[in-house]
């Protein structure tokens, strides 16, 4: 279930950190430094599995996602496999 929407700077830490190979613990350390709530392990793994391939196919998607995160339905339209247990408008970075 989606939680409170994150700010673009927080999404930049999350997406950039995960895309750069950071662990969930390291991403959460960076989020703590800017007084942002941690990223749950389930969200970290969902981003690694579903969003990273989406970004790697077209890196301009990363900048767009920082400004306005893609929903799972947007990933599906782009041809990515999405988990069965999510809503089409959910964004893994906003999960609690």
Instruction: Name the residue with tokens 């613990």.
Output: 25
pTM, two decimal places: 0.80
The answer to whether the beta carbons of residues 80 and 50 sit under 8 Å apart is: yes
pLDDT in the model for residue 88: 64
Angle at the Cα of 29 from the Cα atoms of 64 and 52, rounded to 5 degrees: 35
Lowest mean pLDDT among 23-27, 30-34, 83-87: 83-87
Q: Is the pLDDT of residue 76 over 70?
A: yes
pLDDT in the model for residue 1: 40
Comparison of pLDDT for 79 and 67, the residue scoring more: 67
Burial group, residue 83, by CB count within 10 angstroms (0-12, 13-18, 19+): middle
Please tell me whether residue 95 adopts helix, strand or coil conformation: strand
Please tell me whether residue 2 adopts helix, strand or coil conformation: strand
């Amino acid at each position: 279930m989606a939680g409170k929407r994150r700010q673009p700077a927080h999404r930049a830490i999350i997406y950039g950190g995960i895309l750069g190979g950071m662990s969930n613990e390291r991403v959460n350390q960076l989020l703590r430094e800017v007084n942002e709530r941690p990223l749950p392990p389930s969200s970290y793994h969902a981003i690694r599995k579903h969003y990273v391939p989406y970004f790697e196919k077209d890196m301009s998607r990363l900048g767009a996602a920082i400004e306005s995160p893609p929903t799972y339905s947007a990933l599906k339209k782009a041809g990515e496999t999405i988990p069965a247990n999510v809503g089409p408008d959910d964004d893994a970075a906003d999960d609690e």
